[in-house]
Structure formats: structure tokens, C-alpha cells
Structure 1
Amino acid sequence: MLLRVPGVYRPQSDTHLLSDAISDHAMRLGTRAIDLCTGTGAVAIHAARCGAARVTAVDVSRRAAATALVNARLARADVEVRRGDLAAPVAGREFDLVLSNPPYVPTDPAAPPPHGAARAWDAGGDGRSVLDRICRAAPQLLAPGGTLLLVQSALSGVEKTLAMLAESGVPSDVHARRSIPLGPVLRSRQRMLVGRGLLDAAQRTEDIVVIRGVKPS
């Protein structure tokens, strides 16, 4: 059971799909892992429980970082928690396993930048304001032979993620896919998404996927 304060993303289907992918991963001895956009710390704690030797959790939100720290201590998981913008707090460090469940929900292009709890899911007009940054940062974050496990919605351009990672030297594929009912955030902006061609009018589900990339040794 994880503690969660208002304004921190609640672990749900995408969190569970990413955790399943971690369970599938062959954890090497001494694995250094990082969880970007950690929220409650659920993914970081799971990585530690799956055998990662050193786990770092990062979130830009003060509430999320504090929540992740408390949850790691309650779980007696050896997780280092840092507050900051993606990989900025760990500049120059390399990891054998990079994990992330970032914001990926498309917003109205005319909407102001997200604030408060919405920062955990709103990601610009195409849903890629954070995904693109992770794709660009992956080659520097990954140690040779390291693995990236990244979860996103199919609405946010899976093929673009695969192409960006390939161009950066991290060949990738879709490791897992799950269809889930549209959540309250997507339902609330369904008309806008249909109007932009991102969602079919009759669509009641979305696909979420885990992208798996491996940096060549």
C-alpha cells in the first residue's frame, strides 16, 4: 500500500504495465536504475524489489518527491530520491535501467502550461513535450548495454518514439501493449481529440504501450 497526497499521480494501469515489464526484465548483478517522473515512487520501489542494486527516483514535483521518499522508507527499499527536471539532478551519471511513466496526454494546443496535479499527465498539444526529451536524453543516461522501459499512450505517437530512439542510437520496439477504458481526463477532452483526429468518435478505449530500447554495448 502506497501513500499518496493530493496532487501526486495515482498508480494505475500504465504504472502496472511498466511494473510488469520490469518483472520481465533480466536484472543484472549490480544494476543501476533510474525512474524518471516517479510520482509516488511505485515503479522505483518495484525495481528495487526486483533486484536493482541502486535505484534513483526523480520528479519535478516537491509533493511527488516527498511522497516517493516516504513510500521508499515505508517499503524499506533502497531508493535515492531527487527532485528536479528529468535527468538534471543526475547529470553525468549512467544507468543500466532507465524507467519512466511520463506525462503523455495531448492537450488543447491553446491551453496554458499545466500546473498542479495536471503536470503528471498533460504533455502539450501532441502529448510529447516530455516524451521527446526522454528520447533525446536516453543515449546519455544509458550505460552501454543498458535498457530503457518507457510507457506511453498510443495517442502520443508510438512510431515517433521508436523513430527518435532509433535515430539516437537506441534501437527499440513495443515490449507490451494493453487496451484500457478511457479515463476521466481523456473523456473530458474527447471532443477536442476527435476534432483533431487523435481519437475516433466511437472510441471508448486507448492503448498504452511499453517501449523497450537497448543501447548497444
Structure 2
Amino acid sequence: MFWWVVKAIVGPILTIVWRPKNSGMDNVPESGPAILASNHLSFADHFFGPWPLRRRIVFLGKRDYFTGKGIKGFLTKSFFSGVGVIPIDRTGGKASEEALSTGLRVLGEGKLLGIYPEGTRVPDNRLFKGKTGVARLALQAKVPVIPMAMINTFELMPSGQMPKVFGLPGRPGVRFGEPLDFSRYYGREDDREVLRTVTDQIMKAIGALSGQEYCDRYAADVRAELTGRAPKDDDE
């Protein structure tokens, strides 16, 4: 219920202030399970992405959103819990398997599952290499993947800043592409080459919608270099 309350309150604000330019909503099925695979430019994606759809998207979100302290931590946890974000551990290994199980459960319930294959918000406005968890989910659950491209949200709300109203390169919004059918690969979800092929096709479809320059590196690795932390070797 909280999801619809947020949608009813935030939706009109998005429409009046930023006039989102959205397209391709007819590519999202009205019922049944599907994966929505999106680029991840900004915190604003959580608002502008689901807004034009009549169905709720269940996203897998990092557990850090649910472990903050104080008032800010409480509000953040309440917001993400209310809009249906499921916390997962993204440290790889066993945690990746738990995330897979959670995603399969959501799809098994006939819901829309939202995934950011890049694994994190990007450090710049490029499209980065996707992690293969999205491919494993699609093949194991035997569901279509709908590419989803956020537009102009990187400039709208840079990391750590409040959303901008003026000085944007264009109207923010989201574009949904035609569903991708990977049925020819069903039963091969343990083949690493197949997982990489499927993931790369998904990222290519997202890039065709977003028009972003592609970077064949993981966003987390680039972000780690910029912040002086050690990169993680995790393809999932």
C-alpha cells in the first residue's frame, strides 16, 4: 500500500516539475513475470523508472539501504521497505546465490523484477559492463528481459546532491525496449560463456535505448579506483 501512496504523492510532483518524457510502456506486459534490466545513473532512477507503469516493480537493493543509523537511516529503511525494495548482500559468493533465490521467488510470484546489471550507480555518464546475475535469473526462471533505459537522471541528481530543476540537457524519463527472448539458451544457466553472451546482449539493448557510450569495465571497479579502494573481482 505504501508504494501506491508514494506514487500518488511523488508522481504529480515529477510531472509538474520535470515533465518526464517516457516511451515504450506497451513493451511491459500487463501480467506475468518479467525482468526489467536498467542502467543506473542516479538515486532518481528509483522514482522516474517505475512512475509511468501501472504495475509495481520489485527491485533488489543493496543491504546498506537498510542498515543506516539515526533518523536518516530510519527514513531510508522505511522508504525502501515501503516501495518494495528487497535487501540483498552484494559481496559475491554465497550472497550471490541468496540474491538469485530471492529474484527467483519474486518471479515465481508472477511479479516484475527490476535489476541494475551494472551493480551500482555509475561513476560517470557511461554504460558499464553488466554482471551476469541478470542472465542467470532470466535463464533459470525462463522469463523475458525488458531493457530499460534511464534518461538524463545522472545530470538531474548527481551522487550526494539534491535534484536539479534547471540546467538539464533534456527532460528526464525512461525508455522501455522490446522484450528479449533467450529461450534458445534455456538449460544452460551454468555455462559462463552463455551467461556473458546473454548479459552483453542485454547491455547492448540498454545502450541502444540510452545512447550512452559503453565502457567494458565494471562500474564498481572504476568507482573503487576513483575513491582509492581495492576493486572487487565479482562477475555476479
Fold shared per TM-score above 0.5: no
* TM-score, length of structure 1 as denominator length: 0.38
Name the structure, 1 or 2, with higher relative contact order (CA <8 Å, separation 6+). Answer: 2
* TM-score, length of structure 2 as denominator length: 0.36
The structure carrying a bigger helix percent of its residues is 2
The structure carrying a bigger strand percent of its residues is 1
